[in-house]
Every structure is written in structure tokens, then in C-alpha cells.
Amino acid sequence: MQDFLDNFANWESLLRVYPLLLQGLIYTVWLAVVALPLGILAGLAIAVLYSFKNRWVNIALLIYIDLFRSFPVVVLLILIFYGMPFLGLTLGGFTAAVLAIVLNNSGYYGEIFRAGILSVPHGQTEAARALGFKPLHVVFSIVLPQAIRNVLAPLASNSLELVKATPIAALVALPELLRSARVAQEQTYNPTPLMAAAVIFFVILYPFARWVARLERQALKAR
């Protein structure tokens, strides 16, 4: 037990490195705050485009969705960060990570919103059109509000997964929380910073995880 405490809850080590962890946490929060709305917007744009039912556009959109759902997000990140500079386009770790996460999640969000829009009976669109609503107006004030309610559970779950994807930025040397913890571990020869990072991630994400679990259970019951 003492062995465990010395290694994983060593206050001395934690006191030495906490500024590093704090700075890492700030990067992590920034990554999430920038990538989350961008991912949602991209997915929404895809689903709205899809709802206009242009055959060729829709085939292209489905290919886009499945393509980006098939690539592991790390692969996208490495392609962007290490592959693009050969074309003369060098992105920083932060931008590359945001871009990879957003591209990957635009596919996921696109698919979720698409399913949501499909779940709203088509008669609603027709009725609104008959009442003189413009197509975009129909989508945003009639279809989407109901669609989002129908897919709230997967929407919340995917948003949690997006935030959980931010540590991949560590692979391109961005000093976010996980990377900072690793650096701190090497400095102190002690894994307490790793434990601290895991605890910080858990404390921040746990309320959301609980909420997502509740939504998912309700959705399953409603079927």
C-alpha cells in the first residue's frame, strides 16, 4: 500500500509539477472548446445538405461520412501533421489536432443529424411548404428542433467522445494534459503526474458521462 502511495499519490512530486499539469489542462480545454462547435456545425451542414435530396450530392455526402468514420482520428492527425508539410503547408500541433478531430467528427455528427432528420415524418415538411415556408426555414424551425430531440442521446455521446479524443494531440507534441503529465513523469521519475492527469480527466468528464448514460438508457427504453 505504501508502495502504491509513494508511486501514484506522491505529494512531493505533484507539488513540483502542478504548474505543468495546469498549463496542460488549459490546452486540453481549448482543444475541446474549439473543436466541439466546429464539429457540430460541420455535421449539421452535411445533414442539412443531405435533406435537400439531390441524388448526386447525397451520394457524395454518404461517401464523405463513411470515409471519415472509417479513418482512426490518429491517422488523420498524422497525415495532416506530417504529410501536409511536403506540400508546403505546415500546421501547428494545435491546428492539426483540431482539424483532425473536426474532420473525423463531422462524419459522425453528419450521420447522427441525418438520422435525426430522417426520423421526422416527411408530411411535416410538406405541410410547412404548403403553408408557404421557405425550404431553409422549414429545416431550421420545423424539422431540426424535432430531429435534435430524437437523436439527443447519440449527439451527447459523440460530444463526449470528441472531448475524449483531445489527448491524441500529445502525439504531435502539443503539451496538453496527457503530454504534460508524461513530461512531468520523466522529470520526477514518478508516475504520480500520470495518475493526477487521469484523475483530472475523470473528474471533469464524469458528470457528462453520467448524463450520456442516462440519455442512452432512456432512448433504449423508448424503443
Partner 1 sequence: MDRIVEYYFNAEVIAGAFPQVLTGFRTTVIVSLLIIVCGTLFGLSLALLRCANLRPVNFIITAYVDVLRTLPQLVVIVFIYFGLPYLGPALSPFATTVLALGMVLSAFSTEIFWSAIMALPRGQWDAASALGFSRLRTLVTIILPQAIRLAIPLLTNRAISISKGTALGTAVSLPETLGQAQSVMALVANPSPLTLAAAFYLTFFLPLVIASRWIEYRYSTGR
Which residues contact partner 1 by CB under 8 A?
A: 3-4, 7-8, 66-67, 69-75, 78-79, 82-83, 86-87, 161, 164-168, 170-171, 178, 182, 185, 190-191, 194-195, 197-198, 201-202, 205-206, 209-210, 213, 216-217, 220-221, 223
Q: At closest approach, how far in Å is the CB of 16 from partner 1?
A: 17
CB atoms within 10 A of CB 209: 14
Smaller CB separation from partner 1, 83 or 145: 83
Question: Residue by residue, what is the 3-state secondary structure of 168-223?
Answer: HHHHHCCCCHHHHHHHHHHHHCCCHHHHHHHHHHHHHHHHHHHHHHHHHHHHHHHC
Type of residue numbered 177: L
Smaller CB separation from partner 1, 127 or 199: 199
Cell of 35: 473543436
Q: At closest approach, how far in Å is the CB of 218 from partner 1?
A: 10
Smaller CB separation from partner 1, 96 or 165: 165
Rounded to 10°, the helix 152-164/93-118 angle is 170
Q: At closest approach, how far in Å is the CB of 82 from partner 1?
A: 6
Type of residue numbered 150: N
Smaller CB separation from partner 1, 66 or 126: 66
